[in-house]
Amino acid sequence: MSARWHAHEGVRTWVALSPALLLVGVLFGGAVVMALLRSIGLLGIGEGGPSLAAYRQLVTDPGFARSLGLTLYVAVVSTSLSVVLGIGAALLLRRLGAGRRFATTMFQLNLPVPHVIGAVAILALVGQSGLLSRLGAQTGLLDEPAAFPAITFDPWAIAVILQYLWKEVPFIGIVALAILAAGGDDLEEAARTLGASAWQRLRHVTLPLLLPGVLSAAVIVFAFTFGTFEVPLLLGPSAPTVLPVLAHRRYTDVDLAARPEAMAISVVITVVVVLVVLLGAAGARRAIRGDAAVTEAGG
Amino acid sequence: MTDIHLDGLTRRFGDVLALDDLHLDVAGGSITALLGPSGCGKTTALQLVAGLLRPTSGRVRFGDRDVTEVAAERRGAVMVFQDHRLFPYLTAGDNVAFGLRMRGVARRERRRTAAAALERVGLEGLAGRRPAELSSGQRQRVALARALVLEPEVLLLDEPLANLDAHLRAGMRELILDLQRDRELTMVVVTHDQEEAVVLAGDIALLFDGRLHQHGAPRTFFERPATARTARFFGTTNLVPGHRSGRQVRTPLGVLHVPDGAPGSGADGTPDHGSDSIPGAGAVWVLVRPERLRVDRGDTDHPRVTGRVLHSTYLGTRTRAEVEVAGVRLTVDASDDALADAGPGTSLTLVLPPAALWTVPRADDDGQWLPAPHPATSTAGTAEPT
Amino acid sequence: MPPLTRALLLLSAALVVTACAAADAGDAGTLPDTSRWDEVLAEAEGATLDLHMWGGSTEINRFVDEVYGPRLAELGITLRRVPLADTADAVNAVLGELEAGRSSDGSIDVIWINGENHATMRQAEALHTGWAESLPNAALVDWRDPAVAFDAGIPVEGAESPWGSAQFQFVYDTARTDAAELPASYAQLADWIRDNPGRFTYPAPPAFHGTRFLTQWLYELSGGAEAWVDGFDEDAYEAAAARLFALLEELRPHLWRDGATYPNDIADLDRLFANGEVDMTFTQLPAGIGANVEAGTLPDSARPFVLDTGTIGDHHYLGIPVNAAEPAAAMVLADLVLDPDLQTAKLDPANGWGDGLAIDVGRLADHDRAAIDALTAGFGDLALPPERLAAVRLPDAPPELTDALDRDWERVVRQQRPRS
Amino acid sequence: MTVVTPAATDAARPAPRPATGGPGATSRPVALAVVLLLALLLLPFVPLVLASFAQGYFYPQVLPERWSLRAWQVVLAPDGATWAALRDTVTIAVSVAVLSLVVAVPAGRVLGTRRFRGRRAVELVLLTPVLVPAIAVAIGLHVVLLRLGLAGGIPGVVLVHLVPATPYVVLLTAGVFANAELELEQQARSLGASWWQAQRHVTWRLVAPGLAVAGLFGFLVSWGQYVLTLVVGGGRVVTLPILLFATASGGDTAITAATALFHALPALVLLVLTSRILGGGALTTFGGAR
């Protein structure tokens, strides 16, 4: 192979990649740069030069700290519960004999449904005057709406987490099913003949097999639950609220000085998410690309 | 050493009868091969022995212990699979130590035993490698080590060599035989390759369509096949149609004398299921192995036949030729120069040593194996007795 | 203002500052002369009019499409109604275009606007001025009424043509609350809240109804609306605000959900009220809650009421951006909506809206006036009589006051931080 | 995210062999647990459906006292805002799907089949827009588009939707190419097919279903976008999410419920459709289109 061919090969590679990188780079990169610049007071209304006033303001503002805490709590709880319940659901569905294909299709029916709709539906279900509360009233268990536990707009953001579970448990479940479908049964059988009990098979075969793929899917879930705006706005608590809602609230604040602060919050959201991504980066890419590690086992 | 007893083992999947009433005994410390074409139920049988499947009916006994209801993980039968099934997220060493870990053996002890096992299969020093970094041959040997390290009562191999390249297979067979002799394991090997069955197993059980067709020592399958189907499966290509009465068989090649011994009975006389209905006479196939036929050099009084050579192929150590005699095609394997020089069309006389002849029952319509006689030269399909 | 309320108010100053610098010397589109109205009609013929308005109420949207659409079509104008989740989106779009140098042929011809959005656009000089009072139907409007001449304390100066009027009213449920117990002032409301723990709340500012609810409370604590008519006084505000927020803190445990959280907007409050989680909600419709009851968003037993100490009444207007592509057609619409028969139709809840009049009843011809009187008589007790509303109407507060209220509420009530 | 075609795996396994339990039958507790799981997932749709057919559906009514088709008549009104919103939403989503595929196929092929220095870095760069929250990006993007004069129109919205959609589509396409047996291309060439014929008759047939899924994924990411559409669309672009939020702030629960169901329906139809295209019952994961 002449060197020229290799060079040619390399060039062709980067030419093929350029449209995607250009589009994502210019648009997304431009947006992030804009947000960064405005968070230090440039391009915005402030005449003064770049200043970290907005960030200093955030650090001193207890409201910000509480919001950050709440957002982390919501994202971590939603993600970990989604992983546990998702894997549980996958293991359950896998043991279904007849009707497994139908059940799995129904299981992921709400995946394409946008979150906004999920929020409206969950509010209508678990709000204090929602369907469940009304059933309580009809059966005499509850005498007034306030008797129903307040899990919407509540400090623990339970309705928000419920909505995320409603969408993300099927997502993790499907990823787990995909990984196990590519050789999970065979390895468990091999383990059985090697004397592994049901519990040992789960701990030493099924879970290790699922780990890389599910971990990367979990990163995606964390990034979403940490950064989304519509669901906590419709279902979540108002004080403290999650960072995205806080960022929006500061953003539309009458006081113009709040705008760099809003940008700073957006930057913080971005930084936290990118950090988590770097943590699970390898797994995330593999999960999305679908060639989970287990395929080598089949070879 | 544990012997295995399978009593009337049957397994049905919906309306598919995968295994039908299998009765088989495997002596402790011996190797039995379950042989047959794909879909004949041999893998299902193995899984039933391993406990990975529950039988629809029938019992599985290890020695005097009835293990039919015992779960695979407590049955003491380890299985090595065709696709090696190593745990991709564990190193080779950890894979081998897996079974020990399940038994709660301490880490240092496990590591030491695993290293020894790897060395035993010729993979010392590769304990740290991931399965993805090993060749298919190495992976299969790790799988073997993983099973042996548990010193199982029973070792079950499901087409262990099917995925390996030809040159690797011979080495692996030696390794398996060596390991088995070393630990006097009771071993059952499933394979579709009769050569592998003959080399590995002291005893072969031939299955067709979920039923046991013939069971016995490898030689009987070559020399004393019970039925034409067994013969064909084992590659005895010369089948001459004929009618037998007593020890004489009228065939298109003339009257042939066959040695004593009821047709289809195993050399060591073990009763065979497939052939209990054979009377001493009637429609039979006369079988003669190509390598037992010889070119006539006028130095014997054995029966001789003369035919025309259709074509011949040089196989290095010997030559294979196809000779048509009275409408019947015979394949001859010999290292005789005369054969090597015989071009197509030349006339050739072959010797039929009586000891090499054997008869198996022939159903009236069972002529499908016979290659359609060449229209131009053949006389009637099956020659009238002369 | 619903979520993303003033999402793009953000860009106002930033864009305006850069836009003015960048845009070439303001040759924003000039307005046709309204004195020769037939020429305006001619110029408007064949135009496509982009009307940007809050799209949250399907009834209002249907009213605009089905009533104004055909009448404009008769004049050769195609109405294109663009629904907004928040009027600030349109404000931002105009300011964005100006900032990007597009000072003419803009994408928006006319905006349904009032209050802060009006203030923002006037601050950015983004609205045509001086045209509203010269429309043919402007004669029907009482431009001397401060509620018309001033929009949230800022003089209209012909930059906005009134479309309708509204007045803040409370709503209660006769099935749950006895009319006699109703409070007549904010002081009595505070007592009512203490007596009915968990049964009252208000939308969180900067939601429109929340801000207005607190503004009226501030009026009562600072000696009435008169104190603010001639502009914003920082010290007077500080004094009154201190008393207001102290009171709100004291009342907090008695509110719905112990005052830990507040509904996002009037829609959430309506839902809480309709489902019996709280006992009061608000409305702005002079024609009362007939339309809401008919649409099933409020129970049949709901009734409006006002406090003797007064509630804020104001007008909502139509404004024409400086870079409007079809200013003539925009003026035709502004004039059209003031036709007496269309104002009456807008007042009638059966048509889905029930919005107050922008025109002065006194200036109408007898038959128009009779039609309106007959209509209001038919409202029954689902609406308050116009006289009752007029008697307690207070002017809107200057934007500085409402902005200060919003900011303080966020810090004190939402974030529980002491007022700086 | 992972392209799953269990139909293929089921077919690959000769005899049906559930891991445990009797041959083929499902043990009772497992079936019961699955039914409960599915019920829980479908439960939230119940109050929406009830509310959408009700008039004055207040607490404590469980079944509406007054049934009414008013909400659905308004939502489905022929010249109503809903159909216009649906038209725009579909136009945008389809253009996003197509454009993202056009950009993704070359990049995906390279990422899926070739090892080259910097591959990991490229993937990470492509991954971040998917993960960074829309609110943080929306504001910055709007100013960028304003500078480009594209704000406030459907083209601008399509462009901005490409940011969260393209990465998913590229990475999914990479997965498709990684799993496709591209050696068949050489096989075709050896059978005399030209480069172009090989692409058209072999490669395309191999990757088409997978690309359909990737494209559909781009469609669904755009389909559910709210913040980006609102901020960049400047209120002038009314997609279904925008309409849903506008009606939600309008307070009429019946119309909000009907609009929500109207918005959810097409996505569900697409799910069933694609599972049919890709071979009976094949499941495609949409990774929870945001």
Could you tell me how far CA D129 lies from the centroid of its own chain? 17
Instruction: Say yes or no: C260 and C402 in one domain.
Output: yes
Q: Do D15 and B44 touch (CB under 8 A)?
A: yes
- Contact between A121 and D48 under an 8 Å Cβ cutoff? The reply is yes
Phi and psi at B62, nearest 5°, equal -100, 110
Q: How many domains does chain A have?
A: 2
Q: Is A269 on the interface with D (CB under 8 A)?
A: yes
> What's the average model confidence in pLDDT over C288-308?
88
Rounded to whole angstroms, the Cα distance separating B31 from D225 reads 66
Residue A148 lies in a domain: yes
Query: Which pLDDT belongs to residue D279?
Result: 42
Distance CA C310, CA C228 (A): 15
Touching A: B residues 58-97, CB under 8 Å: 71-74, 77-79, 81, 83, 85-90
Overall domain count for chain D: 1
Residue D248 belongs to some domain of the structure: no
Q: Is residue B76 part of a domain?
A: yes
Q: A37 and A69, same structural domain? A: no
C275–A145 C-beta distance less than 8 A: yes
Chain A partners within 8 Å of C3 (Cβ): 233, 248
Residue C57 pLDDT exceeds 80 = no
Instruction: Return the structure tokens found at D109.
Output: 């092929």
When the pLDDT of each residue in chain C is averaged and rounded to a whole number, the result is: 85
DSSP-derived 3-state class of residue C86? coil
Domain of residue A43, residue span:
17-51
Task: Assess whether A154 and A263 both reside in one domain.
Answer: yes
Of D127, D131, D92, D97, the residue nearest D218 (C-alpha): D97
Per DSSP, the three-state class of C313 is strand
Whether residue D290 lies inside any domain: the answer is no
| Partners of residue D21 in chain B, C-beta under 8 Å | none
User: What's the CATH number where B325 sits?
Assistant: 2.40.50.140
pLDDT confidence bin for D72, thresholds 50/70/90: very high
- Provide the shortest C-alpha distance from residue B228 to chain D (in Å): 29
User: What is the per-residue pLDDT across A137-150, written as a single tens digit (0 to 9) for each?
Assistant: 989 888 888 888 88
Give the neighbours of chain B: at least 3 Cβ pairs within 8 Å.
A, D
B107 and B203 housed in the same domain: yes
CATH assignment at residue C214 = 3.40.190.10
Contact A178 D4 (CB under 8 A): yes
Interface test with D, best of A5, A23, A187 (most D CBs within 10 A): A23
Mean pLDDT of A110-118: 86
Q: Looking at CA atoms only, how far is residue B174 from chain A in angstroms? A: 24
Q: Note the pLDDT of residue A187.
A: 92
Whether B85 sits inside 8 A of A208 (CB atoms) is no
* Residue D138, in any domain of the structure: yes
Residues A127 and A76 in one domain: yes
Question: Which of A154, A234, A254 lies closest to C403 in CB terms?
Answer: A254
What's residue B364's pLDDT? 61
Statement: residue D214 has pLDDT above 90: no
Is A197 in the same domain as A280? yes
Residue B10 sits at φ, ψ, to 5 deg, of -130, 145
D213: in domain: yes
| A37 & A104 share domain | no
Q: Over 90: is that where the pLDDT of C112 sits?
A: yes
Q: Binning pLDDT at 50, 70 and 90, where does residue C20 land?
A: very low
Closest CA to C229 of C310, C165, C167, C153: C153
Does one domain contain both C285 and C210?
yes
Does the pLDDT at position C338 exceed 60? yes
Contact residues, chain A, for B67 at CB < 8 Å: none
Q: Do A239 and C415 make contact, defined as CB atoms within 8 angstroms? A: yes
Q: Residue C149 pairs with which residues in a beta bridge? A: none
pTM of the model: 0.79
The answer to whether residues C224 and C263 belong to one domain is: yes
Average pLDDT over residues C301-323: 92
pLDDT of residue A1: 40
Query: B132 touching A, CB under 8 A?
Result: yes
Could you tell me the CATH number of the domain that includes residue B78?
A: 3.40.50.300
Question: Is C419 a member of any domain?
Answer: no
Q: Which residues of A touch D136 (CB under 8 A)?
A: 32, 35, 227, 244, 247, 266-267, 269-270
- Helix ranges restricted to H, D114-233: 119-131, 134-148, 154-179, 183-190, 195-198, 204-223, 227-233
Residues C147 and C192 in one domain: no
Q: Which residue does chain A place closest to D122, by CA atoms?
A: A21
CA-based end-to-end distance of chain C: 26
Residue A187 touches chain B, beta carbons under 8 Å: yes
Please check whether residues B200 and B250 belong to one and the same domain: no
Angstrom distance (rounded) from CA B332 to CA B319: 8
Interatomic CA distance for residues C30 and C44, integer angstroms: 14
A257 and A162 in a common domain? yes
The answer to whether A120 contacts D170, with C-beta atoms less than 8 Å apart, is no
Structural domain that includes position C107 = 9-162+315-383
Among B121, B116, B141, which residue's Cα sits nearest to residue B131? B141
Task: Report, as an integer, the average pLDDT of C127-137.
Answer: 90
| pLDDT, position A281 | 60
Whether A9 is covered by a domain: the verdict is no
Q: Are C261 and A150 in contact (CB under 8 A)?
A: no
Nearby residues of D96 by Cβ (< 8 Å), 6 or more positions away? D158, D161, D162, D165, D218, D219, D221, D222
Query: Could you report the per-residue pLDDT of A146-162, keeping only the tens digit for each?
Result: 888 889 888 899 999 99
Residue C86 lies in a domain: yes
| Interchain contact D/A (3 or more Cβ pairs less than 8 Å) | yes
How far away is chain C from the Cα of A55, in angstroms, using its nearest Cα?
18
Q: Are residues C269 and C406 in the same domain?
A: yes
What is the pLDDT at residue C7?
Answer: 36
Note whether B touches C: 3 CB pairs or more under 8 A.
Answer: no
CA distance A122 to chain D (A): 6
Closest by CA to C154, choosing from C207, C213, C114, C94, is C114
Query: Shortest Cα distance from B363 to chain A (angstroms)?
Result: 43
* pLDDT at res. D100: 92
Question: Which of B86-90, C7-11, D65-69, D168-172 bottoms out in mean pLDDT, i.e. has the lowest?
Answer: C7-11
The interface residues of chain A toward chain D in range 77-136, judged by CB-CB distance below 8 A, are: 89, 92-99, 101-118, 120-122, 124-125, 129-131, 133-135
Q: Which of A85-99, B285-299, C307-321 comes out lowest in average pLDDT?
A: B285-299
Query: Residue A28 — very low, low, confident or very high, per pLDDT cuts 50/70/90?
Result: confident
CB atoms within 10 A of CB D194: 10
Instruction: Judge if B127 and B275 occupy the same domain.
Output: no
CA distance D224 to chain A (A): 5
- Assess if residue C300 is contained within a domain: yes
Statement to judge: residues C96 and C119 lie in one domain: yes
Q: Quick one: C24 and C38 in the same domain?
A: yes
Test the D interface: residue of A17, A115, A148 with most D CBs within 10 Å: A17
pLDDT level of residue D15 (50, 70, 90 thresholds)? very low
Contact C3 D245 (CB under 8 A): yes
pLDDT reported for residue D170:
86
Tally of domains in chain C = 2
Give yes or no: residues A46 and A76 share one domain. Answer: no
**pLDDT value, residue B236:** 65
pLDDT for the residue C291: 82
Q: Are residues D234 and C61, on separate chains, in Cβ contact within 8 Å?
A: no
Both A151 and A218 in one domain: the answer is yes
Please give the pLDDT value at position B280. Answer: 56
Residue C290 has pLDDT above 90, yes or no: no
- The answer to whether A43 contacts chain D (CB < 8 Å) is yes
pLDDT of amino acid D135: 75
Closest CB to A98 among D26, D126, D171: D26
Q: What whole-number percentage of chain D has pLDDT above 90?
A: 19
Query: Hey, what amino acid is at C292?
Result: N
Is C144 found in the same domain as C52? yes
With CA atoms as reference, the chain D residue closest to A104 would be: D283
Q: Which residue of D has its CA nearest to B41?
A: D15
- Report the alpha-carbon angle B234-B235-B238, nearest 5: 125
* pLDDT over threshold 80, residue A246: yes
pLDDT per residue as tens digits for the range D73-118: 988 988 778 898 999 999 999 999 999 999 988 888 888 888 888 8
A259 in a structural domain: yes
Kindly state whether residues A25 and A147 are assigned to the same domain. Answer: no
Which residue of chain B has the CA closest to D15? B13
**Mutation target vs A (from D127, D227, D231; most A CBs, 10 A cutoff):** D127
Any chains having at least 3 CB pairs less than 8 A from chain C are A, D
Selected for mutation to probe chain C from D75, D237, D240, D252 (highest C CB count within 10 Å) is D252
Indicate whether C223 and C352 sit together in one domain: no
The answer for residues whose C-beta is within 8 angstroms of residue B383's C-beta and 6 or more apart is B251, B252, B253, B326, B327, B328
Token pair 């399965």: residue: B131
Q: Which of C6, C24, C4, C9 lies closest to C96 in space, CA to CA?
A: C9
**Least CA distance to D247: which residue of chain A?**
A120
Please say whether the beta carbons of B320 and B295 come within 8 A. no
Q: Is A103 helix (H, G, I), strand (E, B) or coil?
A: helix
- Closest partner residue to C83 (CB to CB) among D55, D147, D238 is D238
Cβ contacts (< 8 Å) between B54 and chain D: which residues? 22-23
State residue C5's pLDDT score: 36
What does the block give as tokens for C419? 């007022």
Q: Which of C262-266, C313-317, D24-28, D249-253 has the lowest average pLDDT?
A: D24-28
In chain D, what residues touch C90 (CB-CB under 8 Å)? 234-235
Judged by a CB distance cut-off of 8 A, whether residue B50 touches chain A is yes
- CA-nearest residue to D21 within chain B is B54
Residue D209 lies in a domain: yes
Q: How far is D36 from chain B (nearest CA, A)?
A: 28
Contacts of D252 in chain C (CB under 8 A): 57-58, 295-297
> What's the rounded mean pLDDT across residues C388-408?
86
Q: What is the pLDDT of residues C234-261, one digit of tens each?
A: 888 999 999 999 999 999 999 999 998 8
Q: Which domain holds residue D227?
A: 89-238
In a domain, C1, yes or no: no
Residues B316 and B207 in one domain: no
Q: State yes or no: pLDDT of A114 exceeds 50.
A: yes
**Backbone φ, ψ for residue B348 (5° rounding):** -145, 140
Enumerate residue ranges in chain B where pLDDT < 50.
262-279, 367-386
Residues of A with Cβ-Cβ distance to D31 under 8 angstroms: 96
CATH number at residue D159: 1.10.3720.10
Q: Whole domain around residue B117: which residue ranges?
A: 4-212
